[in-house]
Amino acid sequence: MKTRIAVMVSGGGTNLQALLDAWKSGQFNQAEISLVVSNQEKAKALDRARAVHVPALFLNPAQYKDRQAYDQQLLKSFQENKIDLICLAGYMRILTTVIVRQYEQRIMNIHPALLPAFGGEGMYGLHVHEAVMQSGAKYSGCTVHFVDEGTDTGPIILQAVVPVLDHDTPDKLAERVLIEEHRLYPRAVSLFCEGRLQVAGKRVLIKEKA
Ligand code: GAR
């Protein structure tokens, strides 16, 4: 049975593109990207999905009375499409327990910093890189983690480190981090599809290849 993957996006979708490219080049063992969902109608990410004939769904938050109702509809779409793994890739909304509880250890997120630092509410996109620059940290990076009921608090799967340079701007740092994101996310998804991720408390163990 193939692992059916849904990717959730809100913007440009370069991480989605990295996942699509990895899938198309055969990097995901027995998996397919079956659905892309966005809360933003104009998200370029939706075009990236359509370009390779992956169903791309826009769900308009304005049509639902609250986040729970929205997530109920999302959940319905995932269940109808028999989704096994949900990948958040620049999805700028926090998932409610409606989905998180149904998909425990089957939702991943990519975050543009080294968690547990520089995470939590309000920490997304350029805000993260601004905070890193202001802190004086010498290193930043990116983290792929499982999503739990907190914000950016779930078990860490993989991380990559990049230096923060003396004359960086948040934009330059974002660019350097993004290059690593595009390498890291497909690796994490591959490991999941190969059944090699095992969660032990807060730690994710990576099993040897069988
Ligand atoms: C990425 O840098 C991702 O890590 C970040 O948004 C960007 C999306 O870019 N996500 C968050 O900040 C979530 N907290 P993309 O649309 O080009 O993949």
pLDDT in tens, 27-78: 998 899 999 999 999 999 999 999 999 999 999 999 999 999 999 999 999 9
Among 80, 119, 79, 82, CA closest to 98: 79
CA 8 to CA 95: how far, in whole Å? 11
Dmax over Cα atoms in the chain, in whole Å?
Answer: 50
The string of pLDDT tens digits covering residues 74-127 is 999 999 999 999 999 999 999 999 999 999 999 999 999 999 999 999 999 999
CA 16 to CA 14: how far, in whole Å? 5
With a 6 A CB cut-off, is 125 part of the ligand 1 pocket? yes
pLDDT over 90 (residue 188)? yes
CA 47 to CA 29: how far, in whole Å? 25
Among 87, 91, 114, 102, CA closest to 28: 87
**Neighbouring residues of 129: CB distance < 8 A, sequence distance ≥ 6:** 112, 113, 140, 170, 171, 173, 174, 177
What pLDDT was estimated at residue 198?
Answer: 98
Given the residues 53, 111, 127, 167, the one annotated as active site? 111
Domains of the chain, each with CATH number or no CATH:
1-103 (3.40.50.170), 109-210 (3.40.50.170)
Distance 90 CA to ligand 1 centre (A): 4
Q: What is the pTM of this model?
A: 0.97
What is the residue-wise DSSP string for 35-87?
A: EEEES-TT-HHHHHHHHTT--EEE--GGGSSSHHHHHHHHHHHHHHTT--EEE
Residue 111: active-site member: yes
Distance 119 CA to ligand 1 centre (A): 13
Phi, psi of 2 (to 5 degrees): -75, 145
Grouping H, G, I as helix, E, B as strand and the rest as coil, residue 89 is coil
* Residue having the nearest C-alpha atom to atom 1 of ligand 1: 90
